[in-house]
Amino acid sequence: MQIGDWAATPDLKDIYREIRELGLETNLAELEAFGFTVIEGALSPDEVEATRDKIIEISEQRLGRKLDLDSEQDYEDLTFIPFLLVFASAAKLHFEGPEETGFLARLVVPAAILGFFTTAVSIVLAVLPPPDATDRALAIVKILGGTAVLLAAGATVYLRGRKGGSGEAGAQAAQ
């Protein structure tokens, strides 16, 4: 494709030419399609190690403790929560979106419900402490307490957003 001097995209033509010159067009497509890409050789092994060490150092400072990278489990039970949101959103969008009657459209809600409940059961099972936990009651309290705090924070952000929002989105809604 020829990159012209199009009036509609005056800033993009130079950026895209540079992307093409650097051979990053495939990476750009991956980034758009998958939300991430890997650029081989962008950093030397020493730069990767230094960056990793700095991320760990900052994380340990913020947490106030040393990280055990081989067996860290503090946030392990939270990895399923985004999946709950995806499945709930799929069902909600199906009912609020345009009427579709195809075979796949009829599978959206049952698949979303099955995915939601499977994920919810996984979360419940993740709350159970490992068999080698020294204080099982404390482990459960920490997991449930952390979950409650995160849910309360999420609910607060959601409810504040529903009351009118703020910033540009709120200003547009007010007009």
Total domains in the chain come to 2
What's the pTM?
A: 0.38
pLDDT at 174: 47
C-alpha distances in angstroms, 136 versus 14, 104, 123, 141, 143?
Answer: 59, 44, 17, 9, 11
pLDDT at residue 11 in the model: 75
Answer yes or no: do 48 and 107 share one domain. Answer: no
Residue 171 lies in a domain: no
The arithmetic mean of pLDDT across residues 10-39, rounded, is 85
**Among candidates 113, 107, 106, which has minimal Cα distance to 87?**
113
DSSP 8-state class, residue 74: T
Are 57 and 29 contained in the same domain? yes
Domain assignment present for 69? no
Please give the single-letter amino acid code of residue 144. L
Report the amino acid identity of residue 97. G
Range in 20-24, 46-50, 129-133, 146-150 the model is least confident about: 129-133
Q: Are residues 9 and 39 in the same domain?
A: yes
Both structure tokens of 31: 């980034």
- Confidence grade of residue 170 (pLDDT, cut at 50, 70, 90): very low
Residue 173 lies in a domain: no
